[in-house]
Amino acid sequence: MEARTDHSADPMFWENMFGGLSNAEFFWRDHYTFLEEKGYTLRPRYSPDWKPSWLSTKRKPIECEDGQPPFRVTTMQATRISDGRVVVLKQIWEEDTPTEVDITRFLCDKRNTSDPENHSVFFYDVLHSPIYDVSFLVMPFLMRVHDIRFATVGEVMECFRQVFEGVRFLHHHLVSHRDVQILNIMMDPMPLISEVPHPVWEHRSFVDPERRIKRRIRTDHPVRYYIIDFGLSRKFSPGEPHVAPIVFGGDKSVPEYKTAPGDCDPFKVDIYHLGNMFREDFMQECLSLNFMQPLVDQMTRERPNDRPTIEEAMQQFEQLLVSLSYWKLRSRYVYRDEVLGRPFRAVRHVLRTVRWILTRASAIPTHQAIASAA
């Protein structure tokens, strides 16, 4: 949600200066000093004293670190002054998602964070804007699951297992997410990358954009996956009927949405969302997961009562996982958009497989540091 103030008259506004700030970016400039006082430093672009580095030079804004906005402005990378850790600040407009902070706090209390099945994103701090009715969640730096490609079927199955585990944890604690989709499934990328990437130049360092990021493979460096964004979520009380007004998440294909406005069972919507995410964002994007089709078909049935519970769905998934052969799990995860590079990737995969066999690397790269982030 953009800041509710018009900055079009400001000389730093993008229409007044090439490479300038969008209206939504002024929100961060207005909070730069406040956040610095709280211990977090934003990019120089958002400093009130910002002097664009390309002015009086022949360089273009696109060539300069401070000349490009991030792709999303509701979240922003920052540096924690105390230790130099790169964190992410998420702005939460309380009039839009009034329960998000409370549900996130509940999922991240001491009792729940100690549970290894809890894949809800945690936070370091909650700050409150002195200007707007806005809270900032200070969270760890995470990346989208497809930002670094999967190498094997086993790597994808471990991702699915953790997501199943995370949704089961939510449902056991009577929390329906109501917006399970690929944009809300993230991973801690630090085992896979040499350092945090720049928000615009994804292959370069956030600390030093001149330095390129080195990437690794999940089989060698297992990762932990997280469920984020509880803005639409609903927490129920014990014994309370699982009925709530229909709210539209990112996936608009849910059969229940056809009856809106009205009520639905949000836990059954979660099941549909989860199955449809597996189908649209994995199975339709690769050539390696046809064996998931029967389970996905059950999870996305038209009638909510015909869908399995999360416990039933995960039990079927675990049975399926056990039935897969060692070589199937080791097989290469083949993306449909591969064209010219497919023969090279196939040869590279054979060499990797030989190494994994010799080193006895697990075909399912379970995260070894299960609570390292916490």
pLDDT tens-digit readout, 238-296: 999 999 999 999 999 999 999 999 999 999 999 999 999 999 999 999 989 999 999 99
112 and 159 fall within a common domain? no
135 and 163 fall within a common domain? no
Q: Could you report the per-residue pLDDT of 293-328, keeping only the tens digit for each?
A: 999 999 999 999 999 999 999 999 999 999 999 999
130 and 179 fall within a common domain? no
123 and 163 fall within a common domain? no
Residue that terminates a domain, selected from 86, 109, 140: 140
Name the residue with higher pLDDT: 17 or 312.
Answer: 312
181 and 235 fall within a common domain? yes
337 and 205 fall within a common domain? yes
- We report the CATH number of the domain holding residue 218 as 1.10.510.10
Residue-level pLDDT at 195: 95
Strands (DSSP E) found in 58-215: 75-80, 86-93, 125-128, 134-140, 143-144, 175-176, 185-187
> How many domains is the chain partitioned into structurally?
2
Name the residue with higher pLDDT: 370 or 277.
Answer: 277
Long-range contacts of 189-194 (CB under 8 A, 24+ apart): 189/141, 189/142, 189/143, 189/147, 189/148, 189/223, 190/141, 191/216, 191/221, 191/222, 191/223, 192/148, 192/216, 192/217, 192/218, 192/221, 192/223, 193/148
Residue-level pLDDT at 370: 36
Residue-level pLDDT at 340: 77
124 and 257 fall within a common domain? no
| Paired tokens of 42 | 């934003």
Interatomic CA distance for residues 173 and 177, integer angstroms = 11
For the chain, the average pLDDT equals 92
Residue-level pLDDT at 16: 78
55 and 148 fall within a common domain? no
Helix, strand or coil, per DSSP, at residue 325: coil
User: Can you give the residue range of the structural domain that contains 40?
Assistant: 25-140
Q: Look at residue 373 and tell me if it is in a domain.
A: no
Percent of the chain at pLDDT exceeding 90: 79
Mean pLDDT of 208-224: 94
Flag whether pLDDT at 182 surpasses 50: yes
Q: Look at residue 8 and tell me if it is in a domain.
A: no
Flag whether pLDDT at 368 surpasses 70: no
Q: Look at residue 19 and tell me if it is in a domain.
A: no
Residue-level pLDDT at 48: 95
Flag whether pLDDT at 201 surpasses 90: no
160 and 191 fall within a common domain? yes
Name the residue with higher pLDDT: 65 or 301.
Answer: 301
Residue-level pLDDT at 113: 85
Q: By the 8 A CB rule, do 142 and 186 touch?
A: yes
Residue that terminates a domain, selected from 89, 108, 140: 140
Q: By the 8 A CB rule, do 148 and 212 touch?
A: no
Q: Could you report the per-residue pLDDT of 141-166, keeping only the tens digit for each?
A: 999 999 999 999 999 999 999 999 99
165 and 254 fall within a common domain? yes
132 and 157 fall within a common domain? no
- We report the CATH number of the domain holding residue 63 as 3.30.200.20
44 and 183 fall within a common domain? no
Mean pLDDT of 109-117: 88
| Paired tokens of 57 | 């030079």
Helix axes 153-172, 310-323, angle to 10 degrees: 160
Mean pLDDT of 60-69: 88
Residue that terminates a domain, selected from 140, 171, 202: 140
Indicate the pLDDT class of residue 373, thresholds 50, 70 and 90.
very low
Long-range contacts of 333-342 (CB under 8 A, 24+ apart): 333/149, 333/150, 333/151, 333/152, 333/153, 333/155, 333/156, 333/286, 333/288, 334/286, 334/287, 334/288, 335/149, 335/285, 335/286, 335/287, 336/284, 336/285, 336/286, 336/287, 337/285
Q: Look at residue 367 and tell me if it is in a domain.
A: no
Indicate the pLDDT class of residue 186, thresholds 50, 70 and 90.
very high
